[in-house]
Amino acid sequence: MRRLNRKKTLNLMKELDAFPKVPESYVETSASGGTVSLIAFTTIAFLTIMEFMVYRDTWMKYEYEVDKDFTSKLRINIDITVAMRCQYVGADVLDLAETMVASADGLIYEPVVFDLTPQQKELQRMLQLIQSRLQEEHSLQDVIFKSAFKSASTALPPREDNSLQSPDACRIHGHLYVNKVAGNFHITVGKAIPHPRGHAHLAALVSHESYNFSHRIDHLSFGELIPGIINPLDGTEKIASDHNQMFQYFITVVPTKLHTYKISAETHQFSVTERERVINHAAGSHGVSGIFMKYDISSLMVTVTEEHMPFWQFLVRLCGIIGGIFSTTGILHGFGRFVAEIIFCRFRLGSYKSTSVPLSDGHTSNHLPLITDNSTH
């Protein structure tokens, strides 16, 4: 009984077979079929390799939403070198919401030499080249997001100033926290003095001849400091053509959440518009000499996520490639053989010419003679 049940089960499974096998004695091979098969296998191998490379690659997904966080503080990371002595310049932030000077205690004033060493100049030129390419190819920003990790750094190497040369510039670096509202970070002549109606700078004791707001922005970013991320103003260098010159940077800050396979951080991207002009009250160009960075916070927040193709999707695409190429090449091979047979049949029919058979009455017949059994003997 068990054997009968097994036989019935096997017979039932054979009837359900959707892939019937053809005996090898019934299969006919051809040179054209082998050529098409070779082309099909080569194409499958090439597309499989390309698909595997796509599977290994990742892409950045951008999502936009309204930023609902208005209570947290905004961190500003600064590393700017001004071509003036530290006792002549002062940096502070004017919060436009509260019209008061934000605390700038986190900034360090370091006397340095403004000219860079050859090693620093080489890195600065490389950074400026990357900035120019980023302006042309915006998709390179995705590559920077992927390659950013906490052990990397885009800062200049340690300054190796000659001890015999006296410092002629001031490096202002560090970070400070401000409210998430529009503000104005500026560096001008004299130290800042806060008072209830605003703020002022002690600039009366500094001679106009010593004004020189040539500056170099080694780093400027908002939010969490992520080494490896190149910001729009990194590597910027401006040389003042006049003592009384104003440099303005209008910045729009966009809160950004970055989630990659290497890091996960909350930072801020920003775009910037630059402007510079000489202060000449007689010509109607009013203002204060210095470096002014007016920033505004965008109400939108961007979430940047690094995504990867799922493995099941890779398998589906791979099966589609293999099955599609086999089916397509089979159809093309069959169609080619059909066309070739039609052409060869017509060629063979045209190669037979009609023969003339003489009759007893002197006429000729253009019909082919019939082949009888007697004629074969």
Q: Report yes or no: 173 and 108 within 8 Å, Cβ to Cβ.
A: yes
Task: Lowest mean pLDDT of 80-84, 95-99, 179-183, name the range.
Answer: 95-99
Q: Is residue 374 part of a domain?
A: no
Q: Is residue 295 part of a domain?
A: no
- State CA 26 to chain mean position distance: 56
Q: Is residue 214 part of a domain?
A: yes
* Spatial separation of the C-alpha atoms in residues 233 and 173, rounded to whole Å: 15
- Higher pLDDT: 88 or 96? It is 88
Confidence band (pLDDT; 50, 70, 90) for 215?
very high
On the question of pLDDT at 88 being above 50, the answer is yes
Average confidence (pLDDT) over 151-174: 70
Confidence band (pLDDT; 50, 70, 90) for 18?
low
Q: Nearest CA to 76 among 214, 256, 229, 268?
A: 268
On the question of pLDDT at 361 being above 90, the answer is no
pTM value?
0.68
CB atoms within 10 A of CB 9: 10
Q: Is residue 232 part of a domain?
A: yes
- State CA 192 to chain mean position distance: 42
Structure token digits, residue 33: 């079929």
Q: Is residue 327 part of a domain?
A: no
**C-alpha distances in Å from residue 28, one per residue of 31, 219, 257, 304, 307:** 10, 73, 63, 57, 49
Average confidence (pLDDT) over 51-65: 85
* Spatial separation of the C-alpha atoms in residues 102 and 194, rounded to whole Å: 9
Q: Is residue 126 part of a domain?
A: yes
Q: Is residue 269 part of a domain?
A: no
Encode pLDDT of 304-322 as tens digits: 888 888 888 889 988 998 8
Encode pLDDT of 253-283 as tens digits: 998 888 888 778 788 888 889 998 888 777 7
Count the alpha carbons within 13 Å of 63 in the hemisphere toward its beta carbon: 10
- Higher pLDDT: 297 or 195? It is 297
Burial of 151 (0-12, 13-18, 19+ CB in 10 A): exposed
* Contacts of residue 74, Cβ cutoff 8 Å, sequence gap at least 6: 177, 178, 179, 180, 222, 223, 253, 268, 297
Domain containing 187: what range?
72-245
* Spatial separation of the C-alpha atoms in residues 319 and 44, rounded to whole Å: 10
Q: Is residue 88 part of a domain?
A: yes
Q: How many domains does the chain have?
A: 1
Confidence band (pLDDT; 50, 70, 90) for 82?
very high
Beta bridge partners of 269: 254
On the question of pLDDT at 101 being above 70, the answer is no
